[in-house]
Structure 1
Amino acid sequence: MRPRLLPAMLGAMVLLLAVKMQGLPLLPSGPSPTLGLVAPARAGSESRPAAPSPPAPRPTQAAPPEAPTPEQQAERALLEGLRARRTELEAREQALASREMVLAATEKRLAQRIEELAGLQQRLQAFDRTLGEREEAGWRQMVKLYEGMRPRDAAAIFDELETPVLLQILDRMGERKAAPVLGAMKPERARSITTELARHRARPVD
């Protein structure tokens, strides 16, 4: 039996060497038995239904708030009253500040107005003095004119003058100049103007 095994072993070795040299696959083509076993197992795992997920936990309901105690209610009412009082006081303070601003502006305008009126009064008084001085200068000039005339000529004019104008002239004339003129005037006119002149001089001076 040894002579028979030796040629067989030699032939097998030669065949194996030839296969390696030609790069031929040693195993026959076809699906591998291992792949065949794995595929059914994978298919079986894919066809198996997935396990149901556990249910989500339900949210726990909060416990109802406790009712406030009478002390808490009283404290809350007190705080609300203080808050309302503070709001009222702030509103009053703002109103007072606004009134003070208005009063300050009003006082400033009144002070300016009083100052303007005082200046206007001073100007009016100065104008009155100037006007009075001019008026007095005019009367003095007119008196000087009549005093330089002859008494008879002046009396003829005085008989025709209005009483207020004649009073201003006679009041400024000297007695020695006025007496001859009054004597030359008409008796009735001279008598009435003398009475009016006495009343005019008896009036208090402003």
Structure 2
Amino acid sequence: MIRPRLLPVAIAAMAGLFVVKAESLVGLLRGGAAVVAPARAADPPPAPAPAPAPAPVSAARAPAQPPAAAPQAIPVAAPDPATAAERALLEQLRARRTEIEAREQAVVAQEVVLQATERRLARRVEELTALQQRLEALDRSRTEREEAGWRGLVRTYEAMRPRDAAAIFNELEMPILVEILDRMGERKAAPVIGAMRAEQARLVTTELARHRARRTAAN
């Protein structure tokens, strides 16, 4: 009893669904035709197909990067010839000044040495002068003593008789005899020489003349 009721309902539902689908299909066909027609009327030329995207390159096949450019050297300005010449001149002047200072120091040191040498020489001269004065004093003293001794002998022989004095003079050495007769007065010496032996008198007279000539030449 249930099946006769459900069958008509199912058939009716299927019929209605078919009608709906048919209307939808007709509407779609009408709308597509309207849209396609104007598109065809003003259809632009087909756009070029896009180029295929490049395939990703693996790290192993990646092209080597170009080497980094070497840093460019900063240009250095050429030295100024005038500045170089001035520097060379300054160096020469500095060297010359150093040389002059060294020479001045050497001259100063040499002057110090010379002054010390002069002082030593002056002291030495003073010492030698004092020594010479002492020697001269001693020589004068010796001469005076000798002269005093000769004068004493002369007075002794002058006080003797000429014959006695002549006997002694005949035996004296010539240098001593000359010194005694040279200091005797002529009036005292003449009688003594006259009483001497003739040969001794002749020799003593010759030596006495030579002695007085040498003394005169020395003075």
* TM-score class normalised by the smaller sequence: 0.5 to 0.7
Displacement of 1:162: 1.2
Corresponding position: 1:152 with 2:166: no
1:123 to 116, 134, 138: 134
Displacement of 1:64: 7.0
Corresponding position: 1:137 with 2:148: yes
Letter in 1 for 2:109: S
* Aligned residues with identical type, % of pairs: 69
Backbone CA RMSD of aligned residues: 2.1
- CA distance in structure 2 between the partners assigned to 1:122 and 1:197 by the alignment: 32
Find runs of 4+ consecutive structure 1 residues off by over 3 angstroms: 60-67
- CA distance in structure 2 between the partners assigned to 1:64 and 1:132 by the alignment: 103
- CA distance in structure 1 between the partners assigned to 2:195 and 2:173 by the alignment: 17
Q: Aligned residue for 1:68?
A: 79
Structure-1-length-normalised TM-score: 0.65
Q: Aligned residue for 1:93?
A: 104
- CA distance in structure 1 between the partners assigned to 2:96 and 2:128 by the alignment: 47
Letter in 1 for 2:145: R
State the Cα deviation string for residues 176-205 of structure 1 (Å, max 9, x = none).
222221122111111221222223223315
- CA distance in structure 2 between the partners assigned to 1:72 and 1:157 by the alignment: 109
Larger radius of gyration: 2
Q: Aligned residue for 1:81?
A: 92
Structure-2-length-normalised TM-score: 0.61
Displacement of 1:153: 2.1
- CA distance in structure 1 between the partners assigned to 2:167 and 2:183 by the alignment: 19
State the Cα deviation string for residues 123-157 of structure 1 (Å, max 9, x = none).
11111111110000000111112122222222121
Displacement of 1:62: 9.3
Name whichever of 193-202 and 128-137 sits farther off.
193-202
Q: Structure 1: 5+ residue runs without aligned partners?
A: 1-59
Displacement of 1:87: 0.8
The verdict on how the C-alpha distance between 1:65 and 1:87 changes in structure 2, with shifts beyond 3 A counting, is farther
Q: How many residues align?
A: 147
- CA distance in structure 2 between the partners assigned to 1:61 and 1:89 by the alignment: 49
- CA distance in structure 2 between the partners assigned to 1:77 and 1:202 by the alignment: 82
The verdict on how the C-alpha distance between 1:61 and 1:104 changes in structure 2, with shifts beyond 3 A counting, is farther
Indicate the SS of the match to 1:68: coil
Corresponding position: 1:186 with 2:197: yes
Trace 1:35-54 onto structure 2 (pairs within 5 A): none
